Amino acid sequence: MDEENPVLRAGSSVKCRVCTPEPGGYAVKLVPSGIDGFLPCQEELNEGQVVPATFVCMSKDQALMTFAFRIGTTERVQMGLPSEPETAFAVWADSHPRTYKLRRAIDIVMPPVSSVDVTPLRSGDYDIGKLITDLEEGQLTGCVKMICDERLSRGALLLFRGRAVGCIYGKKPMVEPYPIESAIQMLLLDSFLPETKLTVYDLPDEIILSMSAMFLGVPVLEKDYADHKTLEQLTKILKKETAILTATAANEMCLAFLHEGEIFGSYHVDDQKFSDRGASFDEVMDKAPDSKVEISILPSEMTTDKVLFGYGLSTTLEVMKGQAPIEM
């Protein structure tokens, strides 16, 4: 093996030299190979500083890393996964165990873009195990909303090509949200109860990928965009990124979906209205002087063939079988 250019695999320990700040982290160079890379980081680092990191994957000529001390090596990576793209996702997801505090629970996931009503399904009328497998094998990109009165729970599962890339799950009297992987398991578990109501519908790739950044993306520090007062100004600093932008003011919330640098649309959560423009986002930003904006970026590597993006539903069910108190 060439010492200057070692074979890099997902989970490999590397060192990198900090170059310049970028939204969500820093441009870096691997040491000693000099390969360009991106290192997500919420801390202040100094130019020229050498830091330990964990390799995720290569995309074109750039490496994606995570911070070494944030991951260690998790059990599933240690045990080995069937493919390098699956390992790359596991390394990434396990290093970003974000618990996104969502103020509007499942309401933040927009209804179908079309005005056609979607009739909820009663779980007891269907083979839920087969339904979940069909969603995965059919590579649905969209949402599954779940309401379970028996467990006083509600949830929304975001799917990209049949794999889970985001999940909101809430259960009374619990106040704190569940991390994404636990939320997926809890939602699937409640879906097997006969009186649970499930609503399944498509959403555009651009919306799902943008929203997935809430759960599997990189938060951008407020100082990086504090002086930008409109959606157009914010998108300029994000360049070609896919990102979710959230504006809150008083009792209002609006989301803006950014896909590969282009505004795909905005969604006013309280009015439950989608627009293919960003005017409602700016209106919420202008409502009050203390309005707040949050931004999370989805690294472009997540949607390349280097990463199998998302959690497999059938794999999750297999993991749950030994611990589920109801028949699956």
Are both 191 and 119 inside the same structural domain? Answer: yes
Average pLDDT, integer, range 79-106: 75
Q: Which domain holds residue 22?
A: 13-95
Average pLDDT, integer, range 2-6: 50
> For residue 258, what pLDDT band results from cuts at 50, 70 and 90?
very high
Are both 133 and 176 inside the same structural domain? Answer: yes
Q: Over the range 239-257, which residues count as b (16 or more CB within 10 Å of their CB) and which as e?
A: eebbbbbbbbbeebbbbbb
Assigned domain for 328 exists? no
Whether the per-residue pLDDT at 294 is higher than 70: the answer is yes
User: What pLDDT shows up at residue 60?
Assistant: 83
3-state secondary structure of 155: strand
Assigned domain for 4 exists? no
What are the tens digits of pLDDT across the range 32-86? 999 999 999 888 899 999 999 999 999 888 999 998 644 444 566 665 677 899 9
Report the domain count for the chain. Answer: 3
> For residue 239, what pLDDT band results from cuts at 50, 70 and 90?
confident
Are both 111 and 190 inside the same structural domain? Answer: yes
Mean pLDDT of the chain: 87
Please give the structure tokens belonging to residue 188: 């699937």
User: What pLDDT shows up at residue 191?
Assistant: 96
User: What pLDDT shows up at residue 101?
Assistant: 57
What are the tens digits of pLDDT across the range 196-226? 999 999 999 999 999 999 999 999 988 777 7
User: What pLDDT shows up at residue 11?
Assistant: 87
Assigned domain for 54 exists? yes
Are both 175 and 88 inside the same structural domain? Answer: no
| Between 323 and 108, residue with greater pLDDT | 108
- Residue % of the chain over a pLDDT of 90: 58
Distance CA 9, CA 7 (A): 7
- Residues in contact with 69: Cβ distance below 8 Å, sequence separation at least 6, in sequence order: 52
Assigned domain for 303 exists? no
Nearest to 38 by CA among 22, 52, 60, 15: 22
Average pLDDT, integer, range 104-133: 89
What are the tens digits of pLDDT across the range 146-198? 999 999 999 999 999 999 999 999 888 776 778 888 899 999 999 999 999 99
User: What pLDDT shows up at residue 315?
Assistant: 87
Distance CA 127, CA 219 (A): 39
Average pLDDT, integer, range 96-101: 57
Assigned domain for 1 exists? no
> For residue 16, what pLDDT band results from cuts at 50, 70 and 90?
very high
Q: Is the peptide bond before 52 cis (omega within 30 degrees of 0)?
A: no
